[in-house]
Structure 1
Amino acid sequence: MKNQLFKHHLFWPVTMLAALLLFNLIYSPDFFKIVLREGHLYGSLIDILNFGAPLILVAIGMTLVIATKGIDLSVGSIVAISGAVACMMISKGADQSSLSLVLTAIAAALGLSLVLGLWNGFLVTGAGIQPIIATLILMVAGRGIAQLVTSGQIITVSSDTYEYIGTGSLATLPFSIFVVAFMLIIASLLTRRTALGLFIESVGSNPKASLLSGVRSSVVILAVYIFCGLCAGIAGLLLSSNVSSADGNNAGLWYELDAILAVVIGGTSLNGGRFYLMGTVIGALIIQTLTTTIYMIGVPPEITLVVKAFVVLAVCLVQSEAFRQSLVRRWKTRHYPGEKEVVRRAS
């Protein structure tokens, strides 16, 4: 029972998240404090869920792409483009709080995100370009597109309707949490209650065998890139509505790397195959909690990324079974140098 617990794919991610939260509680005793003011819940834990929502969305889409042995480096650029398109359309309206205007802007932003995901999928499946190169093209060009949409400026909007997406509350909780929950449920139902999940894992494990088995791998790969683009587009709406502005240069910057880290921390292999959506969610929460912790303890901004990188490295090493077994072998060798049989069995 104990060994099964240690081998569960969620054990180490949950343990790392709990350790981070415990550190924050020790450093700041009010870290877990949640208060209700004017019908809204406030607190550090609520902030982690709210501010981590865009990353969780991007990471969910990235999980399915990585499961097919692919990668999507363009998600950060799609985040920027989505927010830029929505804010630009709203800023041009006579009544920026008009529901029809906001819905039209959201539809346009998400529609373009789907097209960009389709473009990535076409380059991978139709043109036969390696995923890292195919998505790198949009990663570079996408930033330029976002800045063209905003004319190189930060576009600000004054729309209570649009702001609700990122700052509004529903049942005392941030609305963004419900958006993430909805997309997670949709992804889970599609991949665990239908054959799609099996197709994704089979394509990632062995695309040739999948093709011979009748699985249209190109359609599966195309679908996951489209879904990933949609998730990034929604994340762009959350980010831009949260600050009521769109920055084509900085919005979603480095999100692709954080999303990949979240997927890996959650237990999904970059070699494709089996994937874990809940593990990805926990991985994204670890990264957001780490970011909150770094700011809380007052780490200088110039070394924030260095500290974050070392902590993420430590988390990944702890998760690595090969690394843990190596430490066990060294400990056995040091304390029981004559008992080679014990060392052999531990390996």
Structure 2
Amino acid sequence: MKRLAAHPLVWPCVTLVLLVLLDLSHNPAFLSISVLDGHLFGAPIDILNRAAPLVLVSLGMTLVIATRGIDISVGAVVAIAGAAAASILAADPSQVGMAIAAALAAGLLAGMWNGLLVAIVGMQPIIATLILMVAGRGVAQLLTGGQIIPIGARDYLFLGGGYLALIPCSMWIAAAAIAVTTLLMNRTALGLFIRAIGINPVATRLAGLRSSAIVFGVYTFSGLTAAIAGILASSNVRSADGNNAGLLLELDAILAVTLGGTSLLGGRFSLAGTVLGALIIQTLTYTTYSIGVPPEATLVVKAAVVLMVSVIQSASARAFIARQVRRAFPVAAKRTLTEGAQ
């Protein structure tokens, strides 16, 4: 049991299961999935569909944090990508390919800018990405003219609101991104290099590893995943909003990464844990609304659950709780130790 409790994915899984049980207690049909209008329909499908943008952003954030960095500009990049695509589609709805390319290019340029400041100039990651977090909102507002731009291009709307083989297209895109990232991290030396940089960046540089190039690439990848999330988000809501699109998404991404067991000190990361963390956050959001939590209290409940899960994941916190339990119930604890010895 101790070995199982120490596994980094156990507590995220337990948290997700508890949230599902809470939803089932409130709605016995929570896990039911049916086919409606030619596609799968149900609460689990809705949660997975809405979690896709967060999963994409969290994948890039995982690799950034693994190198001892942080990227708090991803929400602004989501807004920029959606605004860039909407601006082109507003002029010519048939230019879907051009709109997608513009959104991806905007994300790549934003990631390269962050990578340049962090890896080449040597800025602290939180300061470098804070610059784009602030300026990015202004860029998105300039692209949209301070207005909400509606999107009516059918092929573009298919990406975030369409279905492929009964399953939402956004889920396929998120699954593809997870698969590609997993292959890169586990089947190539890139994952080892990222872990090495996170553990000791000075030693890796002295060993001849081009750590600055890898860090630059990681931030570029984070910008790319945020751009894809921006495409899905703008497609799903059929509009681009430079002010509200991706707002506070960077905080949800950081929470998803930490809930999944990735260390903020760098060197240790888990892509599977990140996906679980994103699903926890989206399920928690669904749960708070479904059980009738007032909208003004949603963020408080969300913060309380995240705090509880983070404390449970801490080995020192679990050891402290165990000591207090042994002190409060010494007879039961002694009996348990005796039975274990026998």
TM-score band (shorter)? over 0.9
Partner of 2:33: 34
Aligned runs of 1:141-290 on 2, under 5 Å? 141-290=135-284
Q: Once the 2 structures are TM-superposed, how far is the Cα of residue 248 of structure 1 from its aligned partner?
A: 0.4
The secondary structure found in structure 1 opposite 2:292 is coil
Shift of 1:315: 1.2
**Can you list the C-alpha shifts for 1:205-260, whole angstroms capped at 9, x where unaligned?**
00011112221110110010000000000000000000110000000000100000
Deviations 1:112-147 (A, max 9, x none): 110110000000011110000000000001001100
Paired-residue identity, %: 56
* Matched position secondary structure for 2:121: coil
Query: CA offsets, 1:268-303, max 9 Å, x none?
Result: 000000210000000000000000001111211111
1:87 is aligned to 86
Paired residue for 1:17?
A: 16
Q: Which moved more, 1:298-307 or 1:70-79?
A: 298-307
1:73 alignment partner, SS class: coil
- What's the CA shift for 1:52? 0.5
Deviation sequence 1:33-54 (CA, Å, 0-9, x none)? 1110232000000000000000
Distance in structure 2 (CA, Å) of the matches to 1:312 and 1:299: 16
Shift of 1:176: 0.4
What is the deviation of 1:316? 1.0
Residue 304 of structure 1, CA deviation? 1.1
For normalisation by structure 1, the TM-score amounts to: 0.94
Tell me the CA shift for residue 104 of structure 1: 0.7
* Counterpart residue type for residue 291 of structure 2: I
Q: Deviations over 1:76-128 (max 9, x none)?
A: 000000001101110111xx2x2xx1011100110111011000000001111
Q: Determine which of 254, 276, 298 is the counterpart of 1:304.
A: 298
The one-letter amino acid paired with 1:19 is L
The normalised TM-score by structure 2 is 0.96
Partner of 2:58: 59
Tell me the number of residue pairs that the alignment of Structure 1 and Structure 2 aligns: 335
Q: Which whole-Å deviations, capped at 9, do the CAs of 1:285-331 have from their partners, x for residues lacking one?
A: 00000000011112111111111111111111111111111000111
CA distance in 2: counterparts of 1:47 and 1:143, whole angstroms: 28
Deviations 1:15-37 (A, max 9, x none): 11011011101111111111102
Q: How does 1:128-139 map to 2 (within 5 A)?
A: 128-139=122-133
Per the alignment, residue 50 of structure 1 pairs with 49
**Partners of 2:19 and 2:235 in 1: how far apart?**
29
Give, as a single letter, the amino acid of the residue that structure 2 aligns with 1:57: L
> 2:88, 2:293 → 1: CA distance?
38
Residue 4 of structure 1, CA deviation: 2.3
Out of 306, 324, 327, which is 1:333 matched to?
327
Structure 2: how far apart are the matches of 1:311 and 1:9? 18
> Aligned with 1:142: secondary structure?
helix
Q: Does 1:293 align with 2:292?
A: no
Q: Which residue of 1 aligns with 2:77?
A: 78
- 4+ residue segments displaced more than 6 Å: none
Q: Aligned partners of 2:215 and 2:39: how far apart in 1?
A: 41
SS in 1 for 2:262: coil
State the SS of the aligned residue for 2:28: coil
CA–CA distance in structure 1, aligned partners of residues 181 and 79 of structure 2 = 23
CA deviation profile, 1:139-183 (whole Å, cap 9, x unmatched): 001001100100100000111111100011111000001100111
Gaps of 5+ in 2: 338-342
Alignment partner, residue 105 of structure 2 = 111
Distance in 2 separating the partners of 1:44 and 1:336 = 45
Give the C-alpha shift of residue 9 in structure 1.
1.2
Corresponding letter in the other structure for 2:21: L
SS at match of 1:126: helix
Inter-partner Cα distance in structure 1 for 2:59 and 2:324 = 37
Q: Give the AA of the match of 2:43.
A: S
The runs of 5 or more residues in structure 1 that have no matched partner are: none
